[in-house]
Structure 1
Amino acid sequence: MDYLCRVPVLPHRDDRVAARHIEKALGGPAANLAVAAVGVGDDYSLQVDLATAVGDDGDSEWALAELMARGVNVLPIRRPINNRLPRAIVIIEGNGSRTIIHETFELSEIDLTANMDVETPQVASCLHIEGFHYERMIPSIQRFRDAGWRVSLHTAGLPEGSRTPEAFIDLVGRIDLTFVNDETLREIFNIRTPLASMIEEARRIFSRLRTRGDIVLTLGEFGAAVFRKGGGAQIEVPALPVDRVDATGAGDAFAGVFLSLWLHGASLEEAARHAAIGASLTTTAEGAQGYTANAARLKELLSAVEVRRAI
């Protein structure tokens, strides 16, 4: 559960400021991604099961109802220690930048094993792991892959032990599709080049790695780049120019939209172009799930972008 606080600028230590408002909203990286993935719909419809920790309080009941209304199935496989829904405070500035203070929880391999039989899927299926839970879920990766699943990972919240070059190399050797933002990549590989040369620096790094799958580098308002396994030229896609209200959850929305197309056999470029537009639209409303783009809207805006590029 996110508490959204909108203020002109981020307060300093010992400041006391009045928020324009403080609202409650559904949040969390995995839930944001799940809602974005389901929301695409039409030819890219998915069944999404969200394995998570849910308490026994009113907020947990509210969150379950909200997710169900959005088409997300919830697998409440663990109760938090305090038996209530984890919370976050999201401070949103006038320019749309946000600062997040959150409680966290960790799911383990035992949690997943005890609550889910891994069977050979009849349709394209994917186990998606948020960075927070990566290290504890390593045993699950091979188990799901052996059953015929694909595995994707979003590096949001990746533990400190996995934020080294050696650990990241090991990670991309296990995962079929990795989403990483520029800030995380900079931290892992100690990159100091300006954003303008970030894609070239990433290409240089990834060309030396033996990756199992493809890597998607998200660059916020500057779009994204996809680096194919086996090398070759990267795919670069622009973000949609929008009036940004709140950047919370844009990376989650990107991954959710991308996965919905990827699992239906779309090309990496097609998935990335749709995802970049979906992520941009998310920033036009307050809250990580304030705007969920469907397939029709994505295609409409993608066509408009293609027309402008042709002109």
Structure 2
Amino acid sequence: MKKLVCAGEILVEIMAERIGQSFLEPGPLVGPFPSGAPAIFIGQAAALGQPAGLIGAIGEDDFGQLNIDRLRALGADVSAITSHRGHATGTAFVTYLADASRHFVFNISNSAAGLIAIDDAARHLLADADHFHVMGSSLFSDKSAEVVLAAIAAVRGRGGTVSFDPNIRREIMQDAGMREALEGVLAQTDIFLPSGNELLLFSSAGDEQGAIVELLGRGISCIVLKRGAAGAIYHDRQSLVAMPGFAVDEVDPTGAGDCFGAAFVSFWLRGAAPAEALRIANACGALAVTRKGPMEGIHRLADVEAFIARAGTGA
């Protein structure tokens, strides 16, 4: 099977236990949980049996080891994750608000994650990679953006393909260099995986259909619009495939989109029809929200298929 590589932030998440809990006063917390959008993505892809590896950086500490242990257990290639003495692994403290939104306190750029680089181990991992996946969140610094663009160039230079999940907020689009970096990635993208209004951030069109036509006209092979619990819609120049989501009891939404993306890209790389890839992806996204913690809901392919069989079509 084709080899899938991603690069970016690796961190742990520590979560407030109660909805509405504030970080302005002491309160109960749960965690640490292994996390980071690229790590979640690669962990889910590996769990589905896809050859998958990650380029990243951690501290020489328990949080870093927690991530390495989890990724290795899922079957991911961790050879290009470097460990740095004297630098802490990235962290995200998360609290859940009453309106279902989340508030984060991050330490990423100034953590070991900020030391990400294309070293000999990364070059070795990329040497036989068939596909590179980009998370918009991984363009968190000039150095990280350089790594992502260098990895794209290496994979593209071998005739490989690229997928892109913007995973970005409108406010961040105003950061110096962010818009340019995102547009640079989009120009080399085969599979575009936006959620909701992210689609409109990259188009001059004022509506969804206009944005899809414009972006496909730029050379993108397909657009997969993620709609959370409502499922997803696949668009290419010839067809549209809509697939409903699966009804589950949501415990924690963190990582669901990353698991969805990992499943869709993995099955696209296997030559699956869009409907099949969407069905597996929707199932992975649904299963992801049933556990507290961003990687706790990752499931292996046999379990995903069993879930689909129990749920029927997901309608």
What TM-score do the two structures reach when normalised by structure 1?
0.79
* Alignment partners' CA distance in 1, 2:44 and 2:156: 24
Residue 110 of structure 1 and its aligned partner are, at CA, apart by 5.5
Paired residue secondary structure (1:208): helix
User: Would you say 1:253 and 2:259 are equivalent positions?
Assistant: yes
- The answer for unaligned runs of 5 or more in structure 2 is 1-11, 140-144
CA deviation vs aligned residue, 1:108-138 (integer Å, no higher than 9, x gap): 99525773144456xxx21222213454222
Residue 288 of structure 1 and its aligned partner are, at CA, apart by 0.8
Alignment match of 1:52 (pick from 49, 56, 59): 56
Contact conserved, 2:19 with 2:95, CA < 8 A, in 1?
no
Query: Per the alignment, do residues 104 and 18 of structure 1 end up closer, same or farther by CA in structure 2, a change over 3 Å counting?
Result: closer
Larger deviation: 287-296 or 300-309? 300-309
* Alignment partners' CA distance in 2, 1:306 and 1:191: 37
Residue 107 of structure 1 and its aligned partner are, at CA, apart by 6.7
* Alignment partners' CA distance in 1, 2:55 and 2:219: 27
Structure 1 match to 2:37: 29
Q: Superposed, which structure 2 residues align to 1:105-116 within 5 Å?
A: 105=109, 111=118, 115-116=122-123
User: Would you say 1:211 and 2:256 are equivalent positions?
Assistant: no
Structure 2 match to 1:5: 16
* Alignment partners' CA distance in 2, 1:308 and 1:279: 12
Paired residue secondary structure (2:44): helix
Query: Per the alignment, do residues 305 and 51 of structure 1 end up closer, same or farther by CA in structure 2, a change over 3 Å counting?
Result: same
Contact conserved, 1:5 with 1:23, CA < 8 A, in 2?
no
* Alignment partners' CA distance in 2, 1:144 and 1:96: 38
Q: 1:115 corresponds to which letter in structure 2? A: A
Q: 2:33 corresponds to which letter in structure 1? A: A
Structure 2 match to 1:67: 71
Alignment match of 2:102 (pick from 92, 98, 103): 98
Structure 2 match to 1:197: none
Structure 1 match to 2:275: 269
CA deviation vs aligned residue, 1:188-226 (integer Å, no higher than 9, x gap): 55888xxxxxxxx32321212322321221111221112
CA deviation vs aligned residue, 1:264-305 (integer Å, no higher than 9, x gap): 111122111210111011111101112222323333343455
CA deviation vs aligned residue, 1:61-94 (integer Å, no higher than 9, x gap): 2321222122222134555696121011122357
CA deviation vs aligned residue, 1:142-178 (integer Å, no higher than 9, x gap): 33112132222221248636775x8766543311212
Structure 2 match to 1:289: 295
Structure 1 match to 2:6: none
Query: Per the alignment, do residues 5 and 288 of structure 1 end up closer, same or farther by CA in structure 2, a change over 3 Å counting?
Result: same
Q: Report the RMSD for the aligned CA atoms in angstroms.
A: 3.2
Alignment match of 1:180 (pick from 150, 171, 194): 194
Contact conserved, 2:96 with 2:103, CA < 8 A, in 1?
yes
Structure 2 match to 1:156: 167
Larger deviation: 289-298 or 244-253? 289-298
Structure 1 match to 2:90: 86
* Alignment partners' CA distance in 1, 2:292 and 2:255: 10
Contact conserved, 2:191 with 2:224, CA < 8 A, in 1?
yes
Contact conserved, 1:97 with 1:246, CA < 8 A, in 2?
no
Query: Per the alignment, do residues 101 and 189 of structure 1 end up closer, same or farther by CA in structure 2, a change over 3 Å counting?
Result: farther
Structure 2 match to 1:138: 149
Contact conserved, 2:233 with 2:243, CA < 8 A, in 1?
yes
Larger deviation: 177-186 or 78-87? 78-87
* Alignment partners' CA distance in 2, 1:182 and 1:18: 33
Query: Per the alignment, do residues 102 and 10 of structure 1 end up closer, same or farther by CA in structure 2, a change over 3 Å counting?
Result: same
Q: Percent of counterpart pairs with the same letter? A: 21
